[in-house]
A and B are shown apart, each in its own frame.
Chain A
Amino acid sequence: MWWSILGAGVGCYALKLAGLTVPPRWLAHPRAQRFATLVPVALLAALIAGAVALVWYVRSHRAQTAMSRRREP
């Protein structure tokens, strides 16, 4: 866990620094632009879908437990 935390943390910092440092033409390629635009959109959409599904699952599961509890005498 620690290695993932530090690796991802340093990696995210490197990505920020790269933006300020590399010559703009490196990332001026249309394909790199498309990746950098589309990847966050796809990840965010997937994360939202996952979060909504999880919340919905937890809530419905909790409601079911409450219902079944109420039925018991």
Chain B
Amino acid sequence: VTQLALRARPRLRHVQLRLEEQTVRPLQLADDQRTLLERAGGDRAAITGILVTQVALEGDPLSTRLLSDMGEWLGVGIATGLYGVSFGAVSVAAGLSVLQTCVLSLVMFTGASQFAFVGVAAAGGAPLSGALTALMLGTRNTLYGLKLAHLLRFGGPLRPAAAHLVIDESTAMSVTRGSEEDARVGFLSTGLAVFVFWNLFTFLGGVAGNLIGDPRTYGLDAAVGGAFLALLWPRLADPRNRVIAVVAAAVALGVVPLTAPGVPVLVAGGVALLAGVLTRNAGDPTELPS
């Protein structure tokens, strides 16, 4: 598994490319790469996951870093993917088919918007209200993209593909990196790992949801609130965001008796737009997931 995973990771390809460059000029071979290449008999193609694991166990810093990086990406992918089970089950319980649930995960691929969409459907709201809520929540990915654009510098055909992976997790795993190469690798690896596991677990959750019945029995409905809270929490560090959050929650709950299901959340979005027009000082442009 390690071997397969390592081979699939761009990170190793990056190391291999660097090794290829430097076998031509062996004197300039960086110290941290020498051990790995020597153990592979000087052949970069012979660097396998098993070899990296062995060399890491012997205490080679580069191999250890490779493994820990990979663990981090897979860890984020699996942890986020597991939420997909809860999404699949909640979505099916909300009345969507397994196919519709899977298409949401494949095409929309941004968890909070998906949860919001099926949440509105579960409450009996019009699909259009759900779509509008999902789109409004999706605006934060535009902000992430702006931050990532000059960090990653994706051009050509890679950009439309990479755009699909602009989500909270991949952004968080790339903005903290030092170099452009590390940021790219962190972004693509995390994004791909989350994409694979999120869609896989969505399908499993959807099928399981059909079999096990009401997800509320298992407390999966509470997981939805948890997913939103995890996104909101870091944003509450800003005092103005705290005020907006309290006002928006109060307004949303206040208009529940007066409006159709799904509309209260849109009204809360309206509160934010109003606050954006009325307030003066600029928001924190560096706001990013942590």
Contacts and interface: CB of A to CB of B under 8 A. Distances in A.
A63 interface: no
A50 B221 contact: no
Contacts of B232: 41, 44-45, 48
B189 interface: no
A39 B269 contact: yes
Interface residues of B, number: 85
Nearest to A24: B146
B272 A35 contact: yes
Contact of B135 (A1, A11, A53): A11
Contacts of B264: 46, 50
Contacts of A37: 143, 235, 241, 283-284, 287
A41 B285 contact: no
A67 interface: no
Contacts of A35: 139, 272-273, 276
Interface in A45-73: 45-55, 58
Given A12-B113, A19-B166, A43 B283 contact: no
- On chain A, which size bracket covers the interface? 35 or more
Contacts of A39: 136-137, 139-140, 269, 272-273, 276
Given A8-B134, A45-B249, A51 B228 contact: yes
Interface in A6-20: 6-13, 15-20
Nearest to A62: B216
Given A20-B149, A20-B162, A48 B249 contact: yes
Contacts, number: 243
Interface of B: 96, 100, 103-104, 106-110, 112-113, 115-117, 119, 121, 123, 127-128, 130-131, 133-146, 148-150, 154, 159-160, 162-164, 166, 216, 221-222, 224-225, 228-229, 231-232, 235, 240-241, 244-253, 256, 264-265, 267-269, 271-273, 275-277, 279, 282-285, 287
B17 to A, nearest CB: 24
Nearest to B96: A1
Contact of B142 (A5, A8, A15, A52): A15
Given A34-B279, A35-B272, A12 B110 contact: yes
Given A41-B248, A46-B249, A19 B145 contact: yes
7 contacts: A13-B107, A15-B139, A35-B139, A38-B240, A44-B137, A46-B249, A53-B256
A47 B150 CA distance: 32
B146 A11 contact: no
Contacts of A12: 107-110, 113, 134-135, 138, 141
A34 B282 CA distance: 6
B141 A15 contact: yes
A56 B50 CA distance: 50
B226 to A, nearest CB: 9
